[in-house]
Chains A and B, each alone.
Chain A
Amino acid sequence: MAAGAASGGSAATDTYKEARTWLLMPAWITLSFLILAPVLLMLVYSFLTKEFRGGVVWEFSLSAYDQFFFDRGLFGDEPAKIEWTYITIFWRSIWQAGAATLLSLLIGFPTAYFIATQPERVRPMWVFLITIPYWVNLLIRTVSMKFLLRDQGPLNDLLISTGLIDSPLHIVNTNFAVQLGLFYSYLPFMVLPIYAAVERYNFTLSEAAADLYASKMTILRRVLLPAVKPGVIAGCILVFVPSMGSFLAPDLLGGAKNFMIGSLIEEQFKGNAGNWPFGAAASMILLTMVLIILLIFARQQAKAEKET
């Protein structure tokens, strides 16, 4: 199309340009109204003053950021001290999301590999089966998970009846329960990109490595993983990023002790007790952190690429 337009003179080129502008409109509209505008709105709100029954007063203020990082305020009479409450929540979010991502990778990679090595005609069925639980609302699934894991729930009943444990394991309201919840929520986002990568993988490469005296573990580490790395990275990002900002799993499975940044933000916009600028500021901090983490990741990838 491009080559044809180039040889067809200026009239054809203009038509092509015009068509391209119109054809790209849906993409531009989506990007600007659904992604850029909300983010800009949040950025603006984070620098406004809070109104007491929710909402904002249109007056510039840094108090939201001040409240997030400092005790008693940076601009108060007494010397400022760092406020650890929110930073701890933040740190916990990174840690929880990281653990959930690792868990998803450990379970998701073998699953994806399994599906990709099935006969071609049954692969769509396996992918379909992976997605079936996602037809049910996430809230309902997370609540169900709480019922499954609670002290008198089926899991503990089973473990006790088989004699593995004497008294119920307290899983609900622990960090582990949150990780489990996040893992369960986002597992397909790990499985599907890895599946796509492994499906494209040339299995003769594994044969060649085995032929050259490599053990199964060495083949995985030196040949398969480097070849499907883009899929693994995509899967990790797709699980880590939404896990960071998630509030359902931490709220329902983690309890008050295991608060995550998503819940903190959610609370600021709920009912009359909220603080919109503070919620917006926390969102902007979350966004910045995720971007920084991704950037560091991308940098290291590029560096590793150069070295080999």
Chain B
Amino acid sequence: MSDTSQIAIDVRDAVKRYGDFTALKQISLSIMDNEFFTLLGPSGCGKTTLLRMIAGFEDVTEGAIFLYGDEIENLPPNKRPVNTVFQNYALFPHMTLLDNVGFGLEMRGASKSEARRKAGEMLELVQLSQFSARKPSQLSGGQQQRVALARALAPRPKVLLLDEPLSALDLKLRKAMQLELKHLQRETGITFIFVTHDQEEALTMSDRIAVMSAGEMQQLGTPNDIYERPHNKFVADFIGETNLLEVSVDAVHEGRATCHLGGGHELTCNAVTGIGVGSKVHMSVRPERLFTSDAPVEAESLKGKVVENVFIGTDISTIVNLDDGPQFTIRTSNSDRGNKRIFDQGAEVFVNMELGAARLLVD
């Protein structure tokens, strides 16, 4: 975000209804100029609908959308200076790569030769210039993906919309493309709006993320914000791995809440506004914020027994059952084994966390 003063896309109270079904319930958000912005959520959460509304493929039932200050929600897609990378690429099968990439340029009034020259440059940018005379069907999925990207970027759109563009690629290629996309966004300085259901992808690439569920925005923030300070149960559960446990609030004092878990274990959590004494709410603590020991170490120590150790390469995941209480998953980095002990199955241990690692959530 080099220039945060300018808003690229401003969605104001946008509602989308299909008959009785409300796909989007009053969404408002501002996407900044030169930002890599991600709409994240499970399938059916409305993220693709919102993207398609910005592109112009779906009309807006209520509300307005502004593009750099111009109201665009009533313009047809071909009048909006935004381009889309489609989930299944939607390359024109009867055209060569060069004609595919040059199509948008030609439609914007460039001469055929001019369009071809610029399309050639774009293909060079995505390292496919040697295939420019081929048809899309002669390419692999990853190559088609890059052509789709080149085609959408060629007319220099004000905003680039990407609808789960990496979901059809295998894991290795996807990781490589994530970085390539991120670099491309920095190089071109174009605002990217990226739709995905993959939380890891969103955390890796984005400047900011809007987490959506059931047609509503659950939280908007930087990847760090969303991961470390989830607002509610949905966000905590959807982003990353977490220990999500039900607690009763005994007292709230200066931002900390004293709670107890099942089995009577006491724990101090970070409170959030709107939680009263006596209420039953959920608490979230990330597995990597926990560690085990044979004696209480931190202020927050809970006694339990190791059920299982699971080796997952970079980490070791330990499952501990508290006495008469809930289960915790603890993640220890494989490189950290010198400092932190891994206890055998059946060992009596304490589960430790720093004050503030556990957070209360609104439901």
A210 close to B (CB within 8 Å): yes
Tally of contact residues, B, Cβ under 8 A: 26
Q: A208 to B107: give the CA distance in the assembly, Å.
A: 12
Q: Which of A49-57, A148-156, A213-221 contacts B (4 or more CB under 8 A)?
A: A213-221
CB 8 Å contact bits of B302-344 with A (1 = contact, 0 = none): 0000000000000000000000000000000000000000000
Contact A211 B95 (CB under 8 A): no
Cross-chain contact of B94 among A207, A213, A226 (Cβ < 8 A): A226
Q: B219-263: which residues lie under 8 A (CB-CB) from chain A?
A: none
Chain A 94-152 interface residues, beta-carbon cutoff 8 Å to B: none
Asked if A10 CB lies within 8 Å of chain B CBs, one says: no
Set B78, B84, B86: member contacting A215, Cβ < 8 A = B78
Decide if A212 touches B90 in the complex (CB within 8 Å).
no
Residue in contact with B88 in the complex, picked from A204, A210, A223, A308, CB distance below 8 Å: A204
Cβ-defined contact, B103 with A212, below 8 A: yes
Is there an interface contact between B94 and A214, defined as CB atoms closer than 8 Å? no
- A122 → chain B, closest Cβ, in Å? 17
A202 within 8 A of partner (CB) = yes
Cβ–Cβ contact B155 & A208, under 8 A = no
Q: Is the CB of B104 closer than 8 A to any CB of chain A?
A: yes
- How close is A260's CB to chain B, nearest CB, in angstroms? 37
Q: Is the CB of A211 within 8 A of B94?
A: no
Give every chain A residue within 8 A of B79 (Cβ-Cβ). 213
**Docked-complex contact B55 and A211, CB < 8 angstroms:** yes
Instruction: Indicate if B44 sits at the interface (CB-CB under 8 A).
Output: no
Smallest distance from the beta carbon of B136 to chain A beta carbons, Å? 11
Tell me, in angstroms, the Cα distance from A214 to B56 when the chains sit together.
13
Point out the residue from B103, B108, B155 that lies within 8 Å of A209, measured CB to CB. B103
Interface residues on A, range: 10 to 19
- CB-CB < 8 A to A204: which residues of B? 86, 88, 90
Contacts of A223 in B (CB 8 A): 92
Min CB–CB distance A207 → chain B (angstroms): 6
Indicate if A158 sits at the interface (CB-CB under 8 A): no
Does B77 belong to the interface (CB within 8 Å)? yes
Q: B90 to A202, Cβ gap below 8 A? A: yes
Q: Smallest Cβ distance from A206 to chain B, in angstroms? A: 9
Q: Is the CB of B77 within 8 A of A211?
A: yes
Residue A227 CB within 8 A of the other chain: yes
Query: CB within 8 Å of A: which residues of B?
Result: 55-57, 76-79, 82-84, 86, 88, 90-96, 103-104, 107-108, 151-152, 155
Selected A-B contacts with CB under 8 Å, 15 pairs: A204-B86, A204-B88, A204-B90, A205-B93, A207-B77, A207-B84, A207-B86, A208-B91, A210-B78, A211-B57, A211-B152, A212-B151, A213-B78, A223-B92, A227-B93
Known: A213-B79, A227-B94. 9 other contacts (CB 8 A): A205-B90, A205-B93, A207-B57, A211-B78, A211-B84, A212-B151, A213-B104, A218-B107, A226-B94
Which 7 residue pairs are nearest across A and B when measured between Cβ atoms? A212-B104, A213-B107, A208-B90, A210-B77, A204-B90, A226-B94, A211-B84
A residues sitting closer than 8 Å to B (CB atoms) are: 202, 204-205, 207-215, 218, 222-223, 226-227, 308
